[in-house]
Amino acid sequence: MHELGICRSLIDVALGALAERETTQRATSLQVEIGRFTAVVPDSLRFYFEVLSRGTLLEGAELNIESVPLRTRCRSCALEAEPELPSLLCPQCEGVVEIVTGRELRLVSVDVPEEAA
């Protein structure tokens, strides 16, 4: 259910970007990166985006979601791995790992058609 709040924030940021461009054109697509460790369900995010974007310059825009894999690095031996399930221990030396990627939740771009001169 946290996708609702995330989607509201995503829409606010995207509308802010459009306002900075001073455009009145509708966006055609948004590119978003979402890390696997965020536990965001892409289909839920798309559903909320469709509902919450109605009546805005984002209505009808395609929400393109790129999944960023969970990647860890061992603090002891520096092994990098992509575990299926988050683990706090290195599969090689059983040292403590840190998350390198997988927490991302980023609006990468908002695409609008070029305005005619």
By residue range, what is the domain housing residue 58? 3-69+102-111
Task: Tell whether 35 is covered by a domain.
Answer: yes
DSSP 60: T
Q: In the structure encoding, which two tokens stand for residue 74, read together?
A: 């061992």
Supply the pLDDT for residue 2.
Answer: 87
Report the number of distinct structural domains present in the chain.
1
Domain CATH code at residue 32: 3.30.2320.50
Supply the pLDDT for residue 115.
Answer: 67
Q: What angle do CA 55, 59, 64 make, to 5 degrees?
A: 155
Task: Tell whether 28 is covered by a domain.
Answer: yes
Q: Would you write out the chain's pLDDT as a tens digit for each of its 117 residues?
A: 689 999 999 999 999 999 999 988 999 999 999 999 898 999 999 999 999 999 999 999 999 999 999 999 999 999 999 987 777 789 899 999 999 999 999 999 999 988 644
Task: Tell whether 43 is covered by a domain.
Answer: yes
Q: In the structure encoding, which two tokens stand for residue 99, read together?
A: 């998350």
Neighbours of 69 (CB within 10 A): 12
Task: Tell whether 62 is covered by a domain.
Answer: yes
85 three-class SS: coil
d(CA 84, CA 81): 10
Task: Tell whether 30 is covered by a domain.
Answer: yes
Altogether, the residues listed in the chain come to a count of 117
Task: Tell whether 84 is covered by a domain.
Answer: no
